[in-house]
Amino acid sequence: MRRLMVTGGAGFIGSNFVRYMLQAHPDYHILVYDKLTYAGRLENLQDVAEIFSDRYTFVRGDICDVALVDSTVEAQDIDTIVNFAAETHVDRSLMEPGSFIQTDVYGTYVLLESARKFGVERYHQVSTDEVYGQVLDGRSTEADHLEPRSPYSASKAAGDLMVLAYQESWGLPVTISRGSNNVGPYQYPEKVVPLFATNAIDEEPLPVYGDGQQMRDYQYVLDHCTGIDTVLHKGVLGEIYNVGTGAEITNMMMTEVVLETLNRPRALILHVADRPGHDRRYALDVSKLRTLGWENQYSCVQAVEKTVRWYADNESWWRPIKSGDTYKSYYAQQYGKRLEDA
């Protein structure tokens, strides 16, 4: 029986990963350790708690809390840490960078230190293609320099460097995966695909930043989960693996797929003021992960379509979020003036 601690497991990708891993590995016990910020929700794991009650445990906690992290790792006899916990939204990192540095950098250090103290057999860091910065030509390989350009991506890059430093300095058995934009069930509707899908369902404007010609590799979350599983089982210690479809589309194309899937008019598209420092293009070379036998199942277009259909079928999940005061005040701050000016 392996005993995994999945930090940030109540968020979007983490909850999909926990569900996938418990199904795929009947001999695994998973402890989710999560602070439950606005993006973390126990509802995301409700079915998991029922179906896998004997192999699933939840602890509410902050990865920056040294005492609670240490006591959990020690008392629960954790052999593997998979760290998803992070502040993750670029727009919020432009409003308030402090919590990104705290969780994505200091929190990563706390987990690494605990892994070292208690002899954890594997520490896996879930990172992002954004650490490479914008890539106007070609594709990012794992050997590329890091050139992050937002407070979010700079914090994630610092986290990655700390992970590698623990490997170099103390031989901590680490791996890192760098994923492209994920889409799928349970993504908080501040990220573009769930935001556009839910706005389109309600026939509200879709606020496209700038000209919408930015390019992103929208991958289906399950492909990212199988990618991380592959790295955990076949990855080489100390190595980094990119995870994505390896082919990107423009935001305008993604927006059109959202509208077509829901049979909504193009008139809902509204070009608004751009994101400051907006990275024009991310593009991953995923050949290294493919050499381990991994393949993605969904293209960007299929991933977006499948996601939009999930939001259309699961209004009971997102309506309470969008009608809450926390979401409404964020939306007013982020989009109020933009929508007015447009």
Binding mask 250-269 for ligand NAD (x = CB under 6 A): --------------------
Between CA 185 and CA 307 the distance in angstroms is 6
Q: Contacts with ligand NAD in 73-132 (CB under 6 A)?
A: 84-88, 103, 107, 126, 128
Are the CB atoms for 198 and 322 separated by under 8 Å?
A: yes
Answer for which of 134, 167, 198, 214 binds ligand DAU (CB under 6 A) is 214
d(CA 152, CA 234) in angstroms, rounded, equals 29
Distance CA 311, CA 306 (A): 9
Q: Where are the alpha helices (DSSP H) in the chain?
A: 12-24, 46-51, 66-75, 90-95, 98-100, 108-117, 151-170, 192-201, 221-234, 251-262, 287-290, 300-313, 315-322, 325-341
**Chain centre distance of CA 40:** 12
> Is residue 220 at the binding interface for ligand DAU, with CB under 6 A as the rule?
no
Q: Of ligand DAU, ligand NAD, none, which one sits near residue 90, judging by CB under 5 to 8 A according to partner kind? A: ligand DAU
Residue 244 makes contact with ligand NAD by CB under 6 A: no
Q: Find the binding residues for ligand DAU in span 263-302 (CB under 6 A).
A: 275, 282
171-200 binders of ligand NAD (CB under 6 A): 179, 181-182, 188
Closest of 311, 31, 30, 21 to residue 184, by C-alpha: 311
For the question of residue 129 being annotated catalytic, the response is: yes
Q: Catalytic residue among 132, 152, 188, 311, which?
A: 152
Is 256 labeled as catalytic in the residue annotation? no
Distance of CA 115 to the CA centre of its chain: 22
From the candidates 129, 223, 229, 279, give the one annotated as an active-site residue.
Answer: 129
Q: Which of residues 75-114 bind ligand DAU (CB under 6 A)?
A: 88-91
Q: Which of 40, 207, 227, 235 binds ligand DAU (CB under 6 A)?
A: 207
The residues of the shown chain that bind ligand DAU, judged by CB under 6 A, are 88-91, 128-130, 180-181, 191-192, 195, 207-209, 214, 216, 251, 275, 282
